[in-house]
Amino acid sequence: MSSVLEYVGVSRSFKGVPALRDVSFSVGEGEVVGLIGRNGAGKTTLINIAIGLLYPGSGDVRVFGLSPTGNPVAVKARIGYVSEEGHLRGGRTIRELIAFHRGLFDVWDDKVEREILDRFGLSVNARISRLSKGQRRQVGLLCAVCHRPDLLLLDEPASGLDPAARREFLEAAILLLNREGTTILFSSHQMTDVERLGGRIVLLDDGKVKLDRELDRVREEMFVAIVPRSSVPDAGTLEKIPGCLRVRSVRDEWHVVVEGADEDVHQRLKSSIGHNGIPCVRMPLEEIFIELVGGTRNKEIA
Amino acid sequence: MHIYITRSMFIVVNPGAELSIYRQIMRQIVEAIASARLQAGEKLPSHRELSEQLVVAPLTIKKAYDELEALGYIETQRGRGTFVSEKLPKVDKSDQLDKIEAAARQLLSLAYLGGFQLPDIIKILKDLDRELTTAPVRGKERV
């Protein structure tokens, strides 16, 4: 699988405050990758670097093998981008906006345009200033996909939308996936959306890649063990368990995230703690997310 | 609610559930086959159709179908689509019986804990049997 987007050791600071630290991962052709992480983890910075809106401080980013800041036109012609803010510039009505965007690209797919307008029930005469938040995002998607991009970058495309608008947006994204097999990198706080779009997840924590896994592996090969602090006073013992991703202090318990096959994990826990009977469960994505990046009371084990 | 519903099949996915989506889909198709709502040789929806209907990634559908095919429940015929296997996988009966017994034990413990009696359970089983073996009716959604 050739890689469409590649980050190699990317770091970036703003006024001396590091936003990204040595981030490396790539997105292969046809892959759908969900970028997750807390607010301020660096998701938007990472996407902006791929579009060429920001330079990486150090490291390298390649889109279709090109530098997005070195070859801005060639790169932008092949990517589509929808931002959280949903800026729509270039026209007062949807018709004007479409005409403006059409003029930017060599290719414009009228069929996709028609399909998205119909699907969302948008009128080309509608004034941009009168659109709802959800409609603005829909128009944003339209402008981002009609030039048939090879890579779609969606920065929290569904945030702030009501559940129905969110689902409609998701339906349109799934439609595109089926029709075009577009490569997608999207960031989201909605774990259920991440599950629906599927593929792989990259979890950013404080500017670093904390986890990069197939979604199904996270769902099936990641366990959370609840260990009373009375039985293991020191977090260090638990951190040494093979496959341990995090030890989090929650009241009088340790929450230990361990990766591996079901029986394997139980065996490892047993040999580390010395006895059986530690509750160890599979958790939904949202819970795993919280266990991996959620707050802890003991700073030293964070 | 995004569901896939036909005379012979009823699929609904819940992304927040413990089971991953492709396994939820696998389970519901196996259930439909096991209860003979889906007959041998019957055509399954295409990846695309199911993906758009359930609003889940096409690759997730592909994974569910691939695993079901590897297990022998369904087969893909090039250019024609995916069908329920004519020859369903043989299940080791005694092995299956062990599993049923274990599940029944768990079921009864749950019932006794909740203060239910055997007749209550039998009623639930009968209702479920009816539900699983009769075709869902359009407009009357079960969740």
Which one has a higher pLDDT value, A240 or B131? A240
Catalogue the E-assigned strands of B1-143. Answer: 3-5, 10-12, 74-77, 81-84
Q: Do A158 and A170 contact (CB within 8 A), yes or no? A: yes
Min Cα distance A70 → chain B (Å) is: 34
Chain B residue at shortest CA distance from A32 = B57
Of A173, A200, A215, the position where a domain reaches its end is A215
Gap from A66 CA to chain B (nearest CA, Å): 28
Q: Would the CB atoms of A196 and B48 count as touching at under 8 Å?
A: no
* Confidence at residue B106, expressed as pLDDT on a 0 to 100 scale: 86
Question: At B24, which helix (H) or strand (E)?
Answer: helix B21-34
Q: Is the pLDDT of residue A57 over 70?
A: yes
User: What angle separates helix A133-145 from helix A94-104, to the nearest 10 degrees?
Assistant: 30
Give the total number of structural domains in chain A.
2
Same domain, A158 and A94: yes
Question: What is the C-alpha separation between A9 and A209, in angstroms, rounded?
Answer: 11
State the pLDDT at residue A297. 61
Based on the fold, state whether residues A211 and A221 are members of the same structural domain: no
Contact A219 B20 (CB under 8 A): yes
**A259 and A145 co-located in one domain:** no
Q: Dig out the tokens for A251 from the structure.
A: 């009241």
Span A200-218, pLDDT tens digits: 999 999 999 999 999 999 9
Domain shared by A59 and A30, yes or no:
yes
Nearest residue of chain A to residue B55 (CA atoms)? A171
Q: Which residues of B touch A223 (CB under 8 A)?
A: none
Closest CA to B81 of B55, B53, B56, B48: B48
A174 with B56: Cβ contact below 8 A: yes
Residue A301 counted as domain residue: no
Residue A302 lies in a domain: no
Question: Quick one: average pLDDT of B95-118?
Answer: 87
pLDDT-based confidence at residue B80 (cuts at 50, 70, 90) = very high
Average pLDDT over residues B12-26: 89
Q: Is residue A300 part of a domain?
A: no
Tell me whether residue A279 is in a domain.
Answer: yes
Between A and B, how many CB-CB pairs are < 8 A?
57
User: Chain B residues with CB-CB distance to A under 8 A?
Assistant: 2, 15-18, 20-22, 47-48, 51-52, 55-60, 63
The residue-averaged pLDDT of B102-109 equals 88
Closest by Cβ to A284, choosing from B17, B57, B60: B17
CB B9 within 8 A of CB B29: yes
Are the CB atoms for A294 and A250 separated by under 8 Å? no
Q: Residue A60 is encoded by which pair of tokens?
A: 């390298």
Of the candidates A52, A104, A92, the residue with the CA atom closest to the CA atom of residue A75: A52
| Domain presence at residue A298 | no
pLDDT recorded at residue A222: 92
B98: pLDDT strictly greater than 70: yes
Mean local confidence (pLDDT), A186-199 = 92
Taking an 8 Å cut-off on Cβ atoms, the answer to whether A196 and B51 are in contact is no
Q: Is residue A94 part of a domain?
A: yes
Structure tokens at B61: 């559908």
- The interface pTM score, or ipTM, of the predicted complex is 0.84
Is there a single domain that holds both residue A138 and residue A249? no
Cβ contact, residue pair B15, A282, below 8 Å: no
Is the pLDDT at B140 greater than 50, yes or no?
no
A202 and A246: one domain?
Answer: no
The range of the structural domain enclosing residue A22 comes to 3-215
In the predicted structure, residue A186 carries a pLDDT above the cut 90? yes
